[in-house]
């Protein structure tokens, strides 16, 4: 189990946190557990979760991966961005409430700019979701967030 609670690893709070806990992490991977809760933020009328929410669960797994590495280095986790998803496949349209899933994320590529690619898998005995997620974590998040939008005018003009 993780040395840190999930809320100390991901930049979410309350019901937006979809992971239960980290089972294991290493240099290039993380494994976590997820329980599909009843009456969650994204649940359907039958309490099931649409399978596409699995992408957010996978993204939170990547955030937890980065958060574990930051905490291990004595730093606070930083904000990152999900840029896109490729090759999303699912065996089910909905994930039933109460289902316990295992999440695996594996970093397959990262460059010096902060761009990375992760292979992700969310599974139980009969449910399989997988996707490749592209993410970005700027080297200096404060500077990045304060950059003017392309084409924006300088306020001093």
143 phi, psi to nearest 5 deg: -65, -40
Rounded to the nearest 5 percent, the helix, strand and coil shares of the chain are: 20, 35, 45
Count of the separate structural domains present in the chain = 1
Q: Is residue 58 part of a domain?
A: yes
Residue-wise pLDDT for 109-123, tens only, equals 999 999 999 999 999
Q: Is residue 157 part of a domain?
A: no
The angle subtended at Cα 123 by Cα 9 and Cα 30, nearest 5°, is 30
Token readout for 41 is 């933020």
The range of the structural domain enclosing residue 42 comes to: 6-146
Instruction: Band the pLDDT of 149: cuts 50, 70, 90.
Output: confident
The angle subtended at Cα 30 by Cα 29 and Cα 34, nearest 5°, is 150
Residue-wise pLDDT for 34-63, tens only, equals 999 998 889 999 999 999 999 999 999 999
Q: Is residue 154 part of a domain?
A: no
Q: Is residue 107 part of a domain?
A: yes
* pTM (predicted TM-score): 0.90
The CATH number of the domain where 56 resides is what?
Answer: 3.10.129.10
Token readout for 137 is 């974590």
Question: Do β-strands 115-123 and 100-110 pair in parallel, antiparallel, or remain unpaired?
Answer: antiparallel
């Amino acid at each position: 189990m993780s040395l840190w609670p999930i809320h100390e690893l991901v930049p979410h709070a309350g019901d937006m946190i979809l992971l239960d806990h980290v089972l294991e992490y290493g240099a290039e991977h993380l494994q976590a557990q997820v329980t599909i809760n009843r009456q969650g933020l994204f649940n359907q009328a039958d309490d099931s979760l649409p399978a596409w929410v699995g992408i957010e669960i996978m993204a939170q797994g990547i955030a937890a991966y980065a958060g574990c590495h930051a905490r291990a280095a004595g730093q606070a986790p930083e904000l990152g961005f999900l840029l896109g998803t490729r090759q999303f496949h699912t065996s089910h349209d909905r994930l039933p409430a109460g289902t316990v899933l295992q999440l695996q994320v594996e970093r397959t590529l990262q460059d010096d700019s902060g761009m990375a690619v992760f292979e992700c898998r969310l599974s139980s005995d009969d449910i399989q979701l997988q996707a490749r997620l592209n993410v970005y974590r700027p080297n200096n998040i404060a500077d990045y967030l304060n950059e003017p939008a392309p084409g924006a005018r300088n306020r001093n003009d």
